[in-house]
Amino acid sequence: MEVYEFFGTAEGTAICLGDFDGVHTGHRQVLLEASKTGDWGVLLFTHNSKGEKEILTLLEKLAVLKKLGAKYAVSADFKEELKEKSPEEFVQILKELKVKSVAVGYDYRFGKNAVGDIPLLKSLCSEYGMEVVTAEAKTFGGEPVKSTKIRELIKSGDIKKANILLGSPYMISGKVCKGLGNGTDMGIPTANIEAQKDKLLPKDGVYSGSVGGKKAVINVGKNPTFSAEKRTVEVHIIGEKEDLYGKSLTVEFLDRIRDEIKFRDKNDLILQIKKDIKSVKEEF
């Protein structure tokens, strides 16, 4: 396992346990409970434990958690390092980290085949002098906030509602790579973001968003007007004049503007993009 130390170490802190896919408002209840005991950090999986596309990549999670006050993060490969461990073996890892307490969600399960529950976790941790604190469910519309629901919203393009459940804007981080150059040719330059292959992308379409506090128009899809084959994430940062090629950017999505459309010709596309830019300028 690898420890990312933002400042301080795991020793003497509370460690938060869970999948933390999206670090959504339900997860943040766990972080809140941990913060009541003092300094805290998180055990993270290098990939989603269920093998699904990730709402947040590991690096994106680290950035969000640092912003929320985490002092460290322990990174583990779920399949290789944790999946086959018994509840007793798993708690032994926590002991070796020398944490004083453990924070989990109301429905937390652990150990091989998820046989461990919260009463067992409390019993095993008490043997090593570790306290276990549990967080209440965070609800929205009468239902607990779950990564499964957020994933569905992102896939359907309902970014606005997904952001409410996440507690912060859905984001895509990556390096700016070479694209087809169509945006530059039209006088509306775009940065082509190289998203990680395990990243969950939203439904194809045009979105409003921001990059580094600057308003942006984002296109996810295959650019049907130009008959492109590869699905891309392209962002036009309003007012940006710097060459961004090779730089790492984090693009925050705010709302969905429209479907991706195949236009009759390039001129019709330019007119629509200008309307999209005007819409985003007026939006926030």
Q: Which positions are annotated as active-site residues?
A: 234
Tokens of 101: 């307490």
> In the sheet where 2-5 sits, what is the strand order?
2-5, 72-76, 40-45, 14-16, 101-105, 131-135
Q: At a CB cut-off of 8 Å and minimum separation 6, what does 141 contact?
A: none
* Secondary structure tally for the chain: helices H, strands E: 8, 14
Classify the C-alpha dihedral 44-47-51-53 as positive or negative. positive
Q: How far apart are the first and last CA of the chain?
A: 42
Angle at which helices 25-35 and 58-68 pack, to 10 degrees? 50
Q: Is the separation of the CB atoms in 244 and 191 below 8 Å? A: yes
Distance CA 276, CA 190 (A): 14
Structure letter (DSSP) for residue 80 = I
Distance CA 280, CA 268 (A): 19
Q: Is the separation of the CB atoms in 121 and 95 below 8 Å? A: no
In the block, which residue shows the tokens 């989990």?
Answer: 104
Tokens of 128: 């090593």
Buried b (16+ CB within 10 A) or exposed e, 160-170: bbbbebbbbbb
Q: What angle do CA 116, 120, 123 make, to 5 degrees?
A: 150
